[in-house]
Structure 1
Amino acid sequence: MRRLSILVSLLLATAAPAAANDPKWSEPIAPFKIADGLYHVGSRDIAAFLIDGGKDGLVLLDAGVPDFAPRVIENIRTLGFDPKRVRILLNSQAHFDHAGGLAAIQKATGAKLLLSAPDAALMKRGGKRDFAFGDAVPYPVARVDGIVKDAHRVTIGTATLTAHITPGHTKGCTTWTMPLKVDGATKTALFICGTSAPGYRLIGNPAYPNIVADFRASFAKLKALPCDIFLGSHGSYFNMDEKRGRAGATPNPFLDPEGCSAFLDASSRRFETELAKQQADHLRAGTVQK
């Protein structure tokens, strides 16, 4: 839990300003249905999504911190599914709070893990030598069984998810989309990877020299993607706490394209504000040195 507290201080404030230092970040909650074939099995703020592909099996997107893995398994059972039917593990970002539980869940289910190439490299290092956090928040290494590229489709039975590589928060940050039947119509769910730069060095970063270009390109891509069902790696991104209280209602409370657009606009503004601050600090430091 000490590592979790470290990560909270580094990452939590990036989920949403209101969530900063919230002890409920990893609090267990009951699993719930978002839409037909899609369920939340994560914690109060660290999201994990279960996708039902029918008779061919299940997909799990994200796994929370290492200590939360047993709860994810329990949540899957609570929903009436056999965890052994999880065939594929996917990840949004290879940070401790989203990838830390993958090794334990892989061991429990035998599922294959698919990651983007940069995040697969981070996973193989167990989160060490991270461009921003160094070795501060390591986690158990899971076996990487395949690499997903941009526009890669992952299909299991009736479920198909499409990968969109949106680097910045991690070098291989992966946003996912999938079609869903919602209120009698086909809609697109958008699972946003991450949009923040928590304490990141944005100017002259030798460990990630193209970080600014990557963030800006990712914001442009995210804003262009369809987003009917607004979801993400943290519940605070998409106001999950409030929406889950209305789960099952019509219209579906997770139908929120306006909220999705507002979140991305606010995130890009925060990024540009932080970048401008670092640029000004860098300029002042250069002036002092002269």
Structure 2
Amino acid sequence: MIRKSFGILGAAVLWAAAFACPAAAQQEPGNGPMKPFAIADGVWWVGASDVASYLIQTNKGLILVDGGYESTAPRILDNIRRLGFDPTQVKLILNSHAHLDHAGGIAALKAATGAKVLASAEDGKLMARGGKGDFYLGDKYGYPPVKPDGTVRDGQKVKLGNVTLTARLTPGHTRGCTTWTFPVTVAGQARQALIMCSNTILPGYKLAGAESYPGIAADFEKSYRIWRAAPCDVFLASHAGFFRAADKAAKGPEAFVDPEGCKAFFDKGYGIFRAELARQQAAAGR
């Protein structure tokens, strides 16, 4: 395992390596304790040291995006309480994608809060199976199953009180990977926030020849079109390392306003994707 920074896509490298290394995955990388911090008005990080969970306040209750590992759930609940909220105020739990480090804690969080869970159709099926039968990970990284209460479609608006999030299906990393966009206010200015599900191509993903699943390369291509065109003043993601959360948190919410960093991340990521696709196509004789 190599635990060092590789620049803007360092988190992708670390997490790809973690999934490729069973011993590391069992140690739950990125699951250290983390105090909650403010990102925008009414938006907080309540996750672990790298595994994301976001709390969004509305005038009708709270929205939680992602649930970390199963063992992250108590930390998320504690962080919600640290902010002065009762966890039963959480009315909606949304998911970025159905891997164990983002959906593993949702069953426990649903039980503790009574919230409704929404997910994409494909990842909702994976969540209901507790992560079993993943197109690449198989049954290796299971977690407590949770059946979503509803399904979100591409472009669907999810509203709670005065806050509306838009689901943008950006498959590739998982078949139902979901990026969420929504308006926020930072230092009195209206901005657009984006929570990216993941753009990571895990070691062993087959983009050419016998694809990991039919159409995975086309899905990544489509997802990059969406990411690069979506409004993204405040760049957030399923892992803190993707958007240098710790550095920005130390400076305050205004540091999270980073449209240039968002653009650079997706431009570089697209270049890496295209290079890997070309490499695999050449190896497959295409």
Counterpart code for 1:245: A
**Which residue is 2:159 aligned to?**
155
CA contact (8 A) 2:39 2:256 kept: yes
Q: Which runs of 5+ in 2 are unaligned?
A: 2-8, 19-23
2:11 pairs with one of 12, 15, 23: 15
**Which residue is 2:271 aligned to?**
269
Q: Deviations over 1:176-206 (max 9, x none)?
A: 0110111212110011111111021212346
Q: Number of paired residues?
A: 269
CA contact (8 A) 2:91 2:116 kept: yes
Query: Residues 205 and 42 from structure 1, CA distance in 2 versus in 1: closer, same or farther, beyond 3 angstroms?
Result: farther
The answer to whether 1:167 aligns with 2:171 is: yes
CA contact (8 A) 2:70 2:104 kept: yes
Give the drift of 1:247.
Answer: 1.8
* Corresponding residue SS for 1:34: strand
**Which residue is 2:231 aligned to?**
226
For 1:24-63, what aligned pairs fall within 5 Å after superposition?
A: 25-54=30-59, 56-63=60-67
Aligned mates of 1:155, 1:117 — CA distance in 2:
18
Query: Residues 14 and 97 from structure 1, CA distance in 2 versus in 1: closer, same or farther, beyond 3 angstroms?
Result: farther
Give the drift of 1:154.
Answer: 1.1
Aligned mates of 1:100, 1:203 — CA distance in 2:
30
CA contact (8 A) 1:14 1:197 kept: no
Give the drift of 1:208.
Answer: 1.0
The answer to whether 1:235 aligns with 2:240 is: yes
Give the drift of 1:160.
Answer: 1.1
**Which residue is 1:90 aligned to?**
94
Q: Deviations over 1:56-105 (max 9, x none)?
A: 11000001011111000000000111100100000001111100100000
Q: Deviations over 1:84-139 (max 9, x none)?
A: 01000000011111001000000111110000101111111111111111111111
Aligned mates of 1:196, 1:257 — CA distance in 2:
20
Aligned mates of 1:235, 1:26 — CA distance in 2:
11
Q: Deviations over 1:9-49 (max 9, x none)?
A: xxxx9733367669862211101111111000001111100
What is the alpha-carbon root mean square deviation over aligned residues? 1.9
Aligned mates of 1:205, 1:48 — CA distance in 2:
35
Counterpart code for 1:26: N
Aligned mates of 1:17, 1:104 — CA distance in 2:
29
The answer to whether 1:106 aligns with 2:102 is: no
Q: Which runs of 5+ in 1 are unaligned?
A: 6-12
Give the drift of 1:282.
Answer: 2.2
Query: Residues 205 and 60 from structure 1, CA distance in 2 versus in 1: closer, same or farther, beyond 3 angstroms?
Result: farther
**Which residue is 2:182 aligned to?**
178
Aligned mates of 1:138, 1:270 — CA distance in 2:
29
Counterpart code for 1:104: A
**Which residue is 1:247 aligned to?**
252
Give the drift of 1:271.
Answer: 1.3
For normalisation by structure 2, the TM-score amounts to 0.89
For 1:109-128, what aligned pairs fall within 5 Å after superposition?
A: 109-128=113-132
CA contact (8 A) 1:152 1:163 kept: yes
1:191 pairs with one of 190, 195, 206: 195
